[in-house]
Structure 1
């Protein structure tokens, strides 16, 4: 399949997504690539704090780049990692992790392959 041209602008709406305390804005990459790559902006919902749940994703690639604010993730074998505007993390396939805390204004760019993937909630690593 040939990739399609795609453009999205900052006024596109945010919608519900994987985590209830975040809102997600689709960047159109999944549709343009036939689902091979996904990209969206994630931002905190006002008044909603983190709900730390250990989980992992079945995917080939996941990268998070912080655009604004800060977020703290905890990764199996790595501990807690604080990311601030300009920080980037590559989350290896299958790594168990959870989002521990975030600023009220956090915004992140997430890129994945494929666009659609399974998420499994797990117990704490141990």
Structure 2
């Protein structure tokens, strides 16, 4: 492992990510942990809210912490869950889920392990 630091200089958000209605800011944790972990800030693209598709991830760990706004997810076997500023969710490996809706000011921190993982669409 090595030391890394990521500053918000120049914003750093890109459209390169799983969902077109979100923007992503890589926090460079992948580099420092040799691919064992990843962390990024996800924020809503205002006016781009629409339900996400059902999917699941092949990973060992996934955690989402809401920094600002709100988001509603739906989980297999759980139902809909509303997360608001300060809410945190651990999504068990392989759980089927989708993003239902979110506020225009949504920002979330997501941490995953490993850094790179497969996402599989699920038909329901």
TM band (smaller chain): over 0.9
CA distance in 2, matches of 1:67, 1:59: 23
CA distance in 2, matches of 1:50, 1:37: 28
Give the Å deviation of 1:50. 2.5
Structure 2 unaligned segments of length 5 or more: list them: none
2:13 corresponds to: 14
CA distance in 1, matches of 2:23, 2:108: 11
Alpha carbons 1:52, 1:99 under 8 Å: kept? yes
Deviations 1:17-72, CA, capped at 9 Å, x for gaps: 11100000000000111110000000001220123200000000000000000000
Structure 1 unaligned segments of length 5 or more: list them: none
TM-score, scaled relative to structure 1? 0.94
Alpha carbons 1:64, 1:90 under 8 Å: kept? yes
CA distance in 1, matches of 2:43, 2:50: 12
2:34 corresponds to: 34
Give the Å deviation of 1:8. 0.8
Stretches of 4+ aligned residues off by more than 3 angstroms: none
CA distance in 2, matches of 1:86, 1:52: 22
TM-score, scaled relative to structure 2? 0.95
Paired residues in the alignment total 122
Give the Å deviation of 1:10. 2.1
RMSD, aligned α-carbons: 0.8
Give the Å deviation of 1:121. 0.5
